[in-house]
C-alpha cells in the first residue's frame, strides 16, 4: 500500500554504509511499514542470515512487542510491553533512551482525581467481573481456534460471555473515569505494544492497546500523554496511528483524530475498529484516510465520504496509481476519483485461496499484488484484472503469518511468527531464493541500504553482510 503524506522533514543519514537515496523521500512521514508501502526498491539487504550469521548487532529488549521498527535519521524507534517506547542508535544498537507510559502519567485536574478515587471504590466489584469475563472470553477464543469441530458449542459460550461483559460495562457507565482508567485484559498474542509509532522527523507519536497515546521529541522528552479510550477490537489492539498534517488518527473504539499539539480530541466518528491500519492519500486537494473497513474518511473533520468499497480485515488497504486494493479471501480493486465530485469506481472483485485471517498486509510490485493468509498461502494476483497468477502454500511448518510482506532490492521477504523468512523472486512463477531462521517474531522487517532491521521477541536485530 502507498501512503502519500504531507508532513515535511529532512532525514540526516550519518551512519556509515547508508546513502541519502536509501531514505524515504523528505516529504514523507515515517511509520507503519516505513512509508506504508512495504517496498524498499533501493535497499540491497543480504539474502541469508541466522542468529550467528550476518548479524551486525543485536540489542536485548525489555520485553516483547509486535510493533514494526521505525527509522528516522540515525535512530531506530521500537516498542516494548506493556507501554514502552525506546530509541536505539542505528549504527551500534545502543539504547539511547526508553520511556514507559502508564495511566499514572496522564495529568488529571484535582476535581478529576477526586472523582476517579471515589468511582474506583464503587466500581471495583464490577471491574473485577469485567476482567474475569474478558479472560474467560480469551480462553474460549483460543479453544475455538484450536478446535473448530466444537465451533457451535464454543461460539455459544463466547456469545454468553460477550453478553455478560457488555452488561457489566453498561453498569460502568455510572463510573466513567473508573472504567476508562482500569487496565483492560491484555491478549497474549496482541499485547498492548503492537501499534507501530509514527514520526514527522521532529516528534514521534505512539499508542498502546490500553488506550494511551503519547508524543515525544526525538531526545525522549514527553510532550503529552492522553488516555483516549479502551479498544473494542477482539484479541487486543493492532491498528497503528496515522499521522496526517496536524492530526493523528487512532482507532480504539471510535475513529478519533487527536491534535498533534496537545493530544486533545479534534473529532470522533462512530466506526467499528479493525486491526488493519488506515492509509492516507489525497483526492483533489482533500486529505482522506482509506479505512480497512472500506470507507473514505475526510481527515479534516471525520466525515465519511464513501463506504462499502471493500474490506481488508485485519490488514491494511493497498494503494497504487490511484487504485485501492482490499486483499483477503474477498478481494476487490476500486479506482479512486480525481476529485470529490465523482464516486469511486469498482474495477474488479475476486476470491483468493486461504481461509481464516489475513494478518499480513499485501505489497505491489511490477503489476502484481502479493497477498498472504495467516496459514501461509501466498496468492499472486494480476493488479489489472484480479486474476490469480499462482498460489502457493509456503513451507512455514506450524507457524502463522503475522508480519507483512516486504519488497527490498527486487526480492520478496515473507516471514512467519516462528522466525522463518522466505526470500522469493517476484514474478509469475514461484522461485525461492533462500530460507532463513531467526528467533520468533511477529513484527514486520524494515530495510535501509544494505541492512535489514527485525524486532524479535527478545532482541532487536540489525542484519547485514
Q: Would 5 be classed as within a structural domain?
A: no
Write the pLDDT tens digit of every residue in 67-121. Answer: 999 999 999 999 999 999 999 999 999 999 999 999 999 999 999 999 998 988 8
Identify whether the C-beta of residue 162 lies closer than 8 Å to the C-beta of residue 137. yes
Q: Which of 190, 195, 238, 191 is nearest to 214 (CA)?
A: 195
Q: Which of 105, 104, 81 is nearest to 209 (CA)?
A: 81
Q: Would 98 be classed as within a structural domain?
A: yes
Same domain (yes/no): 215, 112: no
- Residue 169 DSSP symbol: H
Higher-confidence residue of 198 and 188: namely 198
From residue 6, how far is each of 92, 213, 242, 277, 446 by CA, in Å? 31, 21, 12, 18, 22
Q: Would 12 be classed as within a structural domain?
A: no
Write the pLDDT tens digit of every residue in 313-356. Answer: 999 999 999 999 999 999 999 999 999 999 999 999 999 998 78
Same domain (yes/no): 196, 291: yes
- The predicted model gives 399-411 an average pLDDT of 95
pTM of the entire predicted model: 0.86
Q: Would 123 be classed as within a structural domain?
A: yes
- The predicted model gives 378-404 an average pLDDT of 95
From residue 32, how far is each of 61, 82, 196 by CA, in Å? 20, 19, 6
- The predicted model gives 272-277 an average pLDDT of 93
Domain span at 49: 20-104+188-463
- The predicted model gives 382-392 an average pLDDT of 97
Same domain (yes/no): 96, 163: no
- The predicted model gives 250-278 an average pLDDT of 96
Residue 455 pLDDT? 98
Same domain (yes/no): 456, 339: yes
- Indicate whether 17 pLDDT > 50: no
Same domain (yes/no): 82, 100: yes
Same domain (yes/no): 207, 351: yes
Residue 24 pLDDT? 38
Q: Which of 136, 154, 180 is at the close of a domain?
A: 180
Identify whether the C-beta of residue 310 lies closer than 8 Å to the C-beta of residue 326. yes
- The count of domains in the chain is 2
From residue 423, how far is each of 413, 443, 447 by CA, in Å? 5, 17, 14
Cis amide linkage into residue 82, ω under 30° from 0: yes
Confidence of residue 3 (pLDDT cuts 50, 70, 90): very low
Write the pLDDT tens digit of every residue in 223-245. Answer: 999 999 999 888 889 999 999 99
Residue 26 pLDDT? 38
Q: Which of 332, 249, 265, 335 is nearest to 298 (CA)?
A: 249
CA distance linking residue 155 with residue 334, whole number of Å = 34
Three-class SS state of 464: coil
Same domain (yes/no): 348, 433: yes
CA distance linking residue 79 with residue 67, whole number of Å = 6
Same domain (yes/no): 261, 125: no
- Residue 107 DSSP symbol: -
425 is written with which cell numbers?
523472486
CA distance linking residue 381 with residue 362, whole number of Å = 11
Give the whole-number percent of the chain exceeding pLDDT 90: 75
Identify whether the C-beta of residue 326 lies closer than 8 Å to the C-beta of residue 294. yes
Identify whether the C-beta of residue 11 lies closer than 8 Å to the C-beta of residue 202. no
Residue 104 pLDDT? 95
Higher-confidence residue of 172 and 158: namely 158
- Indicate whether 161 pLDDT > 60: yes
CA of residue 146 relative to chain centroid, distance: 25
Q: Which of 180, 196, 231 is at the close of a domain?
A: 180
Q: Would 456 be classed as within a structural domain?
A: yes
Largest CA distance in the chain: 65
Interaxial angle between packed helices 151-172 and 110-146, expressed in degrees from 0 to 180 and rounded to the nearest 10: 180
CATH number of the domain at 450, please. 2.130.10.10
Same domain (yes/no): 92, 222: yes
Q: Would 24 be classed as within a structural domain?
A: yes
The rounded mean pLDDT for the chain is 90
Q: Which of 146, 180, 214 is at the close of a domain?
A: 180
- The predicted model gives 166-183 an average pLDDT of 85
> E-strand spans in 321-410?
323-326, 330-335, 345-351, 363-365, 368-372, 377-382, 388-393, 406-408
Same domain (yes/no): 255, 168: no
Q: Would 2 be classed as within a structural domain?
A: no
Same domain (yes/no): 170, 197: no
Same domain (yes/no): 75, 222: yes
Q: Would 161 be classed as within a structural domain?
A: yes
Amino acid at each position: 500500500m502507498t501512503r502519500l503524506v504531507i508532513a515535511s522533514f529532512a532525514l540526516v543519514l550519518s551512519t556509515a554504509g547508508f546513502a541519502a537515496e536509501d531514505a524515504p523521500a523528505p516529504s514523507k512521514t515515517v511509520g507503519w511499514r516505513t512509508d506504508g508501502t512495504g517496498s524498499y526498491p533501493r535497499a540491497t539487504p543480504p539474502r541469508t542470515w541466522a542468529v550467528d550469521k550476518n548479524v551486525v548487532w543485536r540489542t536485548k529488549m525489555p520485553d516483547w512487542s509486535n510493533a514494526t521498527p521505525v527509522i528516522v535519521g540515525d535512530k531506530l524507534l521500537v516498542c516494548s510491553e506493556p507501554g514502552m517506547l525506546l530509541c536505539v542508535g542505528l549504527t551500534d544498537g545502543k539504547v539511547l533512551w526508553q520511556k514507559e507510559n502508564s495511566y499514572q502519567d496522564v495529568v488529571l485536574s484535582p476535581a478529576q482525581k477526586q472523582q476517579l478515587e471515589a468511582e474506583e471504590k464503587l466500581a471495583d466489584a464490577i471491574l473485577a467481573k469485567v476482567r474475569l469475563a474478558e479472560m474467560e472470553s480469551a480462553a474460549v477464543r483460543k479453544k475455538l481456534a484450536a478446535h473448530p469441530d466444537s465451533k457451535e458449542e464454543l461460539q455459544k459460550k463466547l456469545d454468553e460471555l460477550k453478553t455478560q461483559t457488555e452488561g457489566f460495562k453498561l453498569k460502568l457507565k455510572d463510573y466513567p473515569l473508573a472504567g476508562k482508567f482500569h487496565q483492560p485484559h491484555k491478549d497474549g498474542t496482541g499485547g498492548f505494544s503492537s501499534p507501530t509509532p509514527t514520526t514527522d522527523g521532529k516528534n514521534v507519536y505512539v499508542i498502546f492497546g490500553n488506550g494511551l497515546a503519547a508524543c515525544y521529541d526525538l531526545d525522549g522528552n514527553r510532550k503529552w500523554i492522553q488516555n483516549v479510550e479502551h479498544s473494542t477490537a477482539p484479541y487486543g489492539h493492532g491498528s497503528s496511528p496515522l499521522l496526517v498534517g496536524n492530526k493523528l488518527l487512532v482507532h480504539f473504539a471510535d475513529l478519533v483524530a487527536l491534535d498533534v499539539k496537545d493530544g486533545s480530541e479534534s473529532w470522533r466518528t462512530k466506526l467499528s475498529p479493525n486491526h488493519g491500519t488506515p492509509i492516507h492519500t489525497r483526492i483533489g486537494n482533500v486529505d482522506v484516510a482509506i479505512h480497512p473497513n472500506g470507507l473514505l474518511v475526510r481527515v479534516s473533520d471525520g466525515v465519511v465520504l464513501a463506504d462499502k468499497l471493500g474490506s481488508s480485515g485485519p490488514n491494511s488497504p493497498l494503494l497504487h496509481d490511484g487504485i485501492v486494493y482490499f486483499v483477503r479471501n474477498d478481494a476487490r480493486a476500486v479506482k479512486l476519483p480525481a476529485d470529490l465530485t465523482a464516486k469511486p469506481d469498482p474495477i474488479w472483485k475476486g476470491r483468493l485461496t486461504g481461509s481464516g485471517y489475513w494478518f499480513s498486509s499485501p505489497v505491489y510490485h511490477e503489476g502484481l499484488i502479493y497477498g498472504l493468509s495467516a496459514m501461509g498461502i501466498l496468492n499472486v494476483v494480476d493488479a489489472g484484472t484480479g486474476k490469480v497468477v499462482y498460489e502457493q502454500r509456503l513451507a512455514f511448518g506450524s507457524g502463522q503469518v503475522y508480519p507483512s510482506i516486504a519488497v527490498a532490492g527486487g526480492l520478496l521477504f515473507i516471514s512467519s511468527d516462528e522466525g522463518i523468512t522466505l526470500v522469493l523472486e517476484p514474478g509469475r512463477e514461484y522461485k525461492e531464493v533462500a530460507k532463513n531462521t531467526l528467533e520468533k517474531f511477529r513484527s514486520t522487517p524494515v530495510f535501509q541500504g544494505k541492512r535489514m532491521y527485525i524486532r524479535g521477541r527478545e532482541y532487536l536485530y540489525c542484519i547485514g553482510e
